[in-house]
Each structure stands twice: as C-alpha cells, then as structure tokens.
A and B are shown apart, each in its own frame.
Chain A
C-alpha cells in the first residue's frame, strides 16, 4: 500500500527499556521527520533526515536516536525510556523544500510506565 505507515500503533513499555518506533514511506520522499505531540505543545520536532544517511536534531532530541540507512525507513529509538517520553509520536515525509506540507503517519501512542 502506498503511503506512510508507523508501527506499532500503541506501545506500553517500562522505564529504562529501549524501544524502537518504525516509520516506512513508499514515495521515496527525501525528507523524513519525527514529531511528538503533547497537550499544550502542539507538534515538536525530534529529528529529521534530508536523505539516506543524513540526519539532524530538531527541537527536542535528547533521549532519542535515529538512523536512515534506506530512503524509505526512518526508525526512532528511545535508548532508555523515561515517563516524560510518554507521548504520541508522528512520523512525516516530504518530497522536498517548499510549501508542499508534510504527509504524516497515523501516529504511535507510547506509554512509559
């Protein structure tokens, strides 16, 4: 199916555990992004990637790691999950610069207990 898919949709994990959120897009978009959505904060950028093997920090990168070995995949790893990382995580992709807007995935709701 064409589009951008995130997995899992829901995840509960314990404090201190490592967890990886997956993101896959089928358009070969150059740009991919990870956002978190928290009440009162809107969407905040965690990391982004302009192309395979090129990643950079966003506004709130601490505690997260990303990689992009293939254009279509952009996994986000929480190395040691904390309760403050309980959030809804959205992956997005874009074909490039400009006012194209992004295409977002459906999100992963992560709860850290």
Chain B
C-alpha cells in the first residue's frame, strides 16, 4: 500500500494559468513534507517544504498548502511557465530525518505555450 499518493499521473496547463498538483498520504504520523521537481535525464531538485506546524509555505511562484485533517497537500504554481514542465514528486516523513521520507509516484506537468 502506497503511503504517499499522487493520483494524477499527468496534468496539462496553459502558460500563465495556475497549476495545482495534489498529494495525499495515509500515515497520520507524517509531519514533514517536501516537493521535488525532476527534468528528464536529471536528478530531482528540491523545490519547497512544509512542516505540520504550518498550513502554507510560499516561495516565489510556488506555494504548498497542507491540510492535516484531510491528509492532503497541494503545490500551486502561479503563473505556470513552460520551464515548469517536469515530473513533480511529493515526499513525506514522520520526522525530519532524511532516511524516513517516503516518495509519491510523481505527476508529470506539461505547461503549454
């Protein structure tokens, strides 16, 4: 059973619009969450994080929202740009020790010009 789910394998958005990538988790002990972006033939790159003491974290065009009661987090990208086209992974952990992060299967975002 996957503890971290990204139920949309792919998402297409028009340039300039908002992209919303969703992530659901089943383990109520998860308290730390990360988002990574991955381009083809490259390793994932860290994008943004949030811990359970917050419900929102913002970094430029990227905002992550956390709803602990629903065990759901989302990544908003506004405005979306063609360079944002990549696979996005959500990761969750019960603590902030790196070895305990569990990754979701990823969502492929395509931003259309």
CB within 8 A of B43: which of A44, A100, A104?
A: A104
Provide the B56-99 mask, 1 if CB < 8 A to any CB of A, else 0.
Answer: 00000000000000000000000000000000010100011111
Chain B positions within 8 Å of A85 at CB level: none
Interface of A is mostly: strand
How many Å lie between the Cα of A43 and that of B47 in the bound state? 16
Q: How large is the interface on B (under 10, 10 to 19, 20 to 34, 35 or more residues)?
A: 20 to 34
The number of residues on chain A lying at the interface, defined by a beta carbon within 8 Å of a beta carbon of chain B, is 29
Residues of A at under 8 Å CB distance from B?
Answer: 4, 31, 33, 35, 40-45, 48, 50, 56, 58-59, 90, 92, 94, 97-107
- In the complex, 23 of the A-B residue pairs with CB atoms within 8 angstroms, ordered by the A residue number, are A31-B98, A31-B99, A33-B99, A42-B89, A42-B103, A42-B104, A42-B105, A43-B91, A45-B101, A48-B98, A50-B99, A56-B99, A90-B43, A97-B95, A99-B49, A101-B46, A101-B49, A102-B46, A104-B36, A105-B43, A106-B41, A106-B42, A107-B41
